Structure 1
Amino acid sequence: MVRGWRYKVEAVILSLLGFTGFLFLLQTNDSPNVHPPKEASENTAWTPATATETLRPIAECRANASVANVSGFAELPDHIKNFLRYKHCRTFPLLLDVPDKCGPPNSSHLVFLLLAIKSSPGNYERREIIRKTWGEERTFEGVCIRRVFLSGVASNPRETRKLNRLLRLEAEEHRDVLQWGFQDSFFNLTLKQALFHAWMEARCPGVRFIFNGDDDVFANTDNIVRYLLSVPGAGDRHLFVGQLITNVGPIREKWSKYYVPEQVTASKSYPPYCGGGGLLMSGYTSHAIYKESLGLELFPIDDVYLGMCLQKAGLAPASHMGIRTVGVRVPSSKLEPFDPCYYKELLLVHRFVPYEMLVMWRDIHRPDLVCGKKTAVYGSL
Structure 2
Amino acid sequence: MQGKDFSSRTCKGRLKFRTMLKSFITAVILVLVTLFYSSIRLSTVKTVSKIKSVVTDVLNRGLDVNHWLDEYVTNSTVFQTSGSFEPSPISYSATGFDEKQNARDKLEVSVPQTSMAPGKLEPIQLNVTAHIKLFTVDLNSKRAKTKSTELLRIESLKINKHSIAKDGLPINTNVRKNECDNCFNHYFDYVIQNEHICDTAENRGKIDLLICVTTIHKNAFIRQTLRRTWLSYTKNNTANVRHVFLLGQTANYRLQEFVMRENEIYHDIVQETFIDSYHNLTYKTIMGFKWASTKCPNAKFVMKTDDDVWVNVPSLMKLLSGSDMTKYLQTGLTGSCSQNEPPIRDKTSKWYASLISYPDKFYPDFCSGTGYVTSINVVSDIYHVSPHVPFFHLEDVYVGLCARKLGFSLKSNEGFRAERHKTYHCDYKMDHVLTVHQVTPSVLTVIWTKPCSKVAVQR
Aligned to 2:453: 369
Is 2:184 the counterpart of 1:103?
no
CA distance 1:163–1:374, change in 2 (3 Å) = same
Distance of 1:320 and 1:67 partners within structure 2: 32
Q: One-letter code of the match for 1:369?
A: S
Is 2:352 the counterpart of 1:259?
yes
CA distance 1:237–1:88, change in 2 (3 Å) = closer
CA distance 1:109–1:183, change in 2 (3 Å) = farther
**CA contact under 8 A between 1:109 and 1:208: conserved in structure 2?**
no
Indicate which of 298, 306, 309 corresponds to 2:399: 306
What secondary structure does 2:420 align onto? coil
Aligned to 2:274: 182
Aligned to 2:157: 70
Distance of 1:31 and 1:70 partners within structure 2: 33
CA distance 1:69–1:245, change in 2 (3 Å) = closer
Is 2:363 the counterpart of 1:270?
yes
What is the deviation of 1:341? 3.0
Deviations, residues 331-369 of structure 1 (Å, cap 9, x unaligned)? xxxxxx234135422111001111111210223xx2x52
CA distance 1:347–1:211, change in 2 (3 Å) = same
Distance of 1:339 and 1:41 partners within structure 2: 47
Tell which structure's C-alpha radius of gyration is larger. 2
Q: One-letter code of the match for 1:348?
A: T
Distance of 1:35 and 1:89 partners within structure 2: 13
Matches for 1:60-139 after TM superposition, within 5 Å: 70-72=157-159, 88=184, 90-103=186-199, 110-136=206-232, 138=234
**CA contact under 8 A between 2:290 and 2:380: conserved in structure 1?**
no
Is 2:125 the counterpart of 1:30?
yes
**CA contact under 8 A between 1:242 and 1:278: conserved in structure 2?**
yes
Distance of 1:92 and 1:227 partners within structure 2: 35
What is the deviation of 1:321? 1.4
Deviations, residues 104-129 of structure 1 (Å, cap 9, x unaligned)? 89999711111100001111111001
What secondary structure does 1:254 align onto? coil
Q: TM-score, normalised by structure 1?
A: 0.71
Indicate which of 147, 162, 171 corresponds to 2:263: 171
Identical-residue share of aligned pairs (%)? 24
Q: One-letter code of the match for 1:122?
A: K
Is 2:244 the counterpart of 1:145?
no
Distance of 2:202 and 2:384 partners within structure 1: 19
Is 2:309 the counterpart of 1:217?
yes
**CA contact under 8 A between 2:154 and 2:357: conserved in structure 1?**
no
**CA contact under 8 A between 2:420 and 2:439: conserved in structure 1?**
no
What is the deviation of 1:100? 0.8
**Equivalent residues, number:** 306
Aligned to 1:344: 430
What secondary structure does 2:379 align onto? helix
CA distance 1:106–1:161, change in 2 (3 Å) = farther
Distance of 2:260 and 2:229 partners within structure 1: 22
Matches for 1:318-333 after TM superposition, within 5 Å: 318-328=411-421
RMSD: 3.7
Distance of 2:156 and 2:339 partners within structure 1: 34
CA distance 1:118–1:41, change in 2 (3 Å) = closer
What secondary structure does 1:356 align onto? helix
Distance of 2:245 and 2:337 partners within structure 1: 24
CA distance 1:265–1:373, change in 2 (3 Å) = closer
**Comparing both structures, which one devotes a greater share of its residues to helix?**
2
CA distance 1:42–1:149, change in 2 (3 Å) = closer
What secondary structure does 1:303 align onto? helix
Deviations, residues 309-346 of structure 1 (Å, cap 9, x unaligned)? 111111111111111111337xxxxxxx2341354221
Q: One-letter code of the match for 1:168?
A: M
**CA contact under 8 A between 1:96 and 1:178: conserved in structure 2?**
yes
Indicate which of 174, 186, 204 corresponds to 2:296: 204
Deviations, residues 16-55 of structure 1 (Å, cap 9, x unaligned)? xxxxxxxxxxxx7524424367996799xxxxxxxxxxxx
Distance of 1:352 and 1:359 partners within structure 2: 11
Is 2:447 the counterpart of 1:360?
yes
What is the deviation of 1:196? 1.7
What is the deviation of 1:176? 0.2
Distance of 1:68 and 1:356 partners within structure 2: 40
Q: TM-score, normalised by structure 2?
A: 0.59
Distance of 1:111 and 1:305 partners within structure 2: 27
Distance of 1:310 and 1:297 partners within structure 2: 13
What is the deviation of 1:183? 1.4
Aligned to 1:379: none
What is the deviation of 1:247? 1.7
User: Structure 1: which 5+ runs fail to align?
Assistant: 1-27, 44-55, 74-83, 330-336, 376-381
**CA contact under 8 A between 1:119 and 1:149: conserved in structure 2?**
yes
**CA contact under 8 A between 1:240 and 1:316: conserved in structure 2?**
yes
CA distance 1:284–1:166, change in 2 (3 Å) = same
**CA contact under 8 A between 2:200 and 2:206: conserved in structure 1?**
no
What secondary structure does 1:307 align onto? helix
**CA contact under 8 A between 1:327 and 1:351: conserved in structure 2?**
yes
CA distance 1:188–1:102, change in 2 (3 Å) = same
What secondary structure does 1:199 align onto? helix
Aligned to 2:385: 292
**CA contact under 8 A between 1:108 and 1:204: conserved in structure 2?**
no
